Structure 1
Amino acid sequence: MADEFMKGLALFSLGALGWITFGAWYRTPSYYEVVQLVNPAEGVETVYGEIGVLTGDVLYWLMILGPLTFWVLIPISRQLRSNIGGDAAN
């Protein structure tokens, strides 16, 4: 169980760090505004800019779905499997 927790924590940390980094580069017009990181991307006219915005979005969803998978979905599937009787060893 600790193995799944660490995998989920690693995906959450990696996704959060990447999302904050790419959000600061592409979604923050000014550091003095209250709303940052969730603004729409402005002034992205290059392919590299589009790749950066897409990477930030992918890392955001990695931050959300990675821990959800390892902390909720995998333990639920193991519990269901053991309740059904298809798995002799946990």
Structure 2
Amino acid sequence: MADEFAKGFAILTGGGMVWMTISAWLTTESFEGTQLIAQPPEDPGTYAQFALLLRDVTTWFVIFGVFAFWIGIPVFRELRA
């Protein structure tokens, strides 16, 4: 069980780091305003659109990855045993 926890935690920290980095680059307007969760740029360029897509994919990767390793796999193993 510790192995699944470690894998889920690695997904959480690695994915969170990617998400925070992209959000800091693209959605932090100022240090006094909303940071990390502000609206994305109105007319992003090609690379910014790709980065925003990567941020969304990373969000769902973290959610499903943590769910799979912390809940799904242990429940499946308990039901199988």
**1:70 matched residue in structure 2:** 69
Does 2:14 match 1:5?
Answer: no
Structure 1 counterpart of 2:48, which letter? G
Does 2:24 match 1:36?
Answer: no
Structure 2 counterpart of 1:9, which letter? F
Kindly report which structure 2 residues correspond to 1:42-61, keeping only aligned pairs within 5 A, or say none.
42-61=41-60
**1:23 matched residue in structure 2:** 23
Bigger fraction of residues in helix = 2
Aligned mates of 1:42, 1:67 — CA distance in 2:
29
CA deviation map 1:15-60 (0-9, x unaligned): 1100100000111111211x32112211443111100111111112
Q: CA RMSD in A?
A: 1.3
Aligned mates of 2:8, 2:43 — CA distance in 1:
32
Unaligned runs of 5+ in 2: none
Aligned mates of 1:60, 1:40 — CA distance in 2:
16
Structure 2 counterpart of 1:24, which letter? A
- Give TM-score scaled by structure 2 length: 0.88
- Give TM-score scaled by structure 1 length: 0.80
Unaligned runs of 5+ in 1: 83-90
Structure 1 counterpart of 2:22, which letter? F
Which of structures 1 and 2 has the larger relative contact order (alpha carbons within 8 angstroms, sep 6+)? 2
